[in-house]
Amino acid sequence: MSGPLIIPWKGVSPRIAADAFIAPNAVIIGDVEIGSKASIWFGCVLRADVNYIRVGARSNIQDGTVVHCESEWPGKQGFATIIGDDVLIGHMVMIHGATLENEAFIGMSSTLLNGTVVEGNAMVAAGALVAGKRIPRGQLWAGSPAKFMRDLTPEELVGMKAGKDRYVTNGQIYREQLG
């Protein structure tokens, strides 16, 4: 089995922690940093060819997710994509020029666009579209466009942490199995 496709861009190579799990068919391009015990799952593309992407320790980016960023142009602000530590990103998510703070939770098939900030222990629901908004800590946002739905319960916050921990464990098992 071959490894992931790691592509330098304009002399900048991705920097990946030795203990991160990168699926064999993931594509990582350019100015990308991936932290310790992070996991990038099957079919993901992280393309930092116009700005940078940072993925923190123990964060997971699940199958089929695309992560990109926005370049600066004259008169136009650029947006890097910054994913903090212990972030769970569901399957088939589109992240473009957004910041996900430590312990954020992003539901499957959601889209986060330039300038979006998801604070720690906030949740973006599956299928949501967030365009340049700040999602406050402890809140659930859903819909297209996304709007505040309700505060998260203590049980949901515990469940979010458990989900993140499972992905750290599974990523390490896959890393060992696939060598």
pLDDT, tens only, 12-67: 999 999 999 999 999 999 999 999 999 999 999 999 999 999 999 999 999 999 99
> What is the tens place of the pLDDT at every residue in 151-163?
999 999 999 999 9
Please state the pTM of the whole predicted model.
Answer: 0.96
In whole numbers, what is the pLDDT of the chain averaged over residues? 96
Across 118-149, b (16+ Cβ under 10 Å) vs e yields bbbbbbbbebbbbeebebeebbbbbeeebeee
**Residue 69 maps to which CATH number?**
2.160.10.10
Domain count within the chain: 1
Containing structural domain, residue 121: 5-178
